Amino acid sequence: MPDRLKNRLDQLYNGGARASVRFRYGLILFDAISILYFIVTAPFIATPAVHVVNSVFGALILLDFLARFWLARDRWRLLGKIYTLADIVVIAVLILDPFLSHSLAFLRILRGLRLIHSYHLLGDLRRDSRFFRLHEDAVIAAINLVVFIFTTASAAYVMFFDQHPGLGAYIDALYFTVATLTTTGFGDITLASAVGKLFSIFVMVFGVALFVSLARALFQPQKVRFTCPDCGLLRHDPDAVHCKHCGRLLNIPTEGAD
């Protein structure tokens, strides 16, 4: 029975059948819903009903984590992945939610790292979505930036803006984060303490890097993912006939080709 269950789970998580692909898209939809839920509820004091919903999310994420851990060929390597560590933190926060300070709510948004680094989602999207194949770098860069903005805004909220908890304070934290990230510098909301200044530097350094990465992905010439058989170069121009690195004749699949 355990072997049969493990084989079934392996098919769902790693198989190429249509049902497996749909299952993985379902997981991604769950991830997106959980991230949206964590963002929306971050500014508010949890009610008993919210604690129940948090526990349900925690249980589902735990089941997903246990399944992936059971299937992993190298479990220590899996535990070293950043999205795995984020899942462990989120699971702990959700399960212990009724006993924790509201200031830890922002940790739940670390669940976004799972969406960014979902390997099978990328593989499925490359196969099923022409738009994603053409704009993969831009899509991933945009997700990175959005998750960074809301994670950082939630951290700023609980560290500097929660003297009067609520939506207004969270909007102030989000406004501060975007203004700092873009180096707009209106000056109407600033962090005067030493810790606040260090936090602002962190937002500027990492946020600007992500913002530039998105701009580069949007405006640089698009590349297609195709591995050169000789030199291993991974990205090529969509209409490339030869590899620019070694000159090998390429046969890049194109839309409508037999």
From first to last of the 258 residues of the chain, give the pLDDT tens digit.
678 888 888 888 888 888 888 888 888 888 888 888 887 877 777 788 888 888 888 899 899 889 989 988 888 888 888 778 888 888 888 887 777 666 666 666 666 666 655 655 666 777 777 777 777 778 888 888 888 888 888 888 878 886 776 788 888 888 999 998 887 877 788 888 898 889 999 998 888 888 888 888 777 667 767 778 878 777 777 667 778 778 777 777 665 544
Block residue for tokens 């860069």: 141
189 Rama sector, left if φ>0, alpha if ψ -120 to 50, beta otherwise? beta
Q: Tokens in use for 126?
A: 């490359």
Distance CA 98, CA 93 (A): 9
Name the packing angle between helices 18-41 and 2-14 (round to 10°). 80
Q: What is the pLDDT of residue 63?
A: 92
CA distances to 149, 180, 189 from 202, rounded to whole Å, are 12, 10, 16
For Cα atoms 152, 31, 23, give the angle at the middle one, nearest 5 degrees.
Answer: 160
Which residues, 6 or more positions from 125, have their beta carbon under 8 angstroms from its beta carbon?
Answer: 132, 133, 136
Structure tokens given for 45 = 């004091």
How much is the pLDDT for 198? Answer: 92
Q: What's the one-letter identity of residue 219?
A: F
The pLDDT assigned to 101 comes to 65
- CATH topology for 129-221 is Helix Hairpins (1.10.287)
Question: Based on C-alpha coordinates, what's the Rg of the chain?
Answer: 22
Length of the chain as a residue count: 258
How far apart (Å, rounded) are the C-alpha atoms in residues 116 and 13? 17
Between helix 167-181 and helix 194-219 the angle, nearest 10°, is 60
At 43, the amino acid letter reads P
In angstroms, the CA 250 to CA 231 distance is: 12
Exposed / middle / buried, residue 112 (Cβ in 10 Å: 0-12, 13-18, 19+):
buried
Measure the CA–CA gap between 167 and 150, rounded to whole angstroms: 14
Q: Which pLDDT score, from 0 to 100, does residue 193 have?
A: 87
- CB neighbourhood size of 150 (10 A): 20
CA–centroid distance for 181 within its chain: 19
Q: Which two tokens stand for residue 133?
A: 């194949």
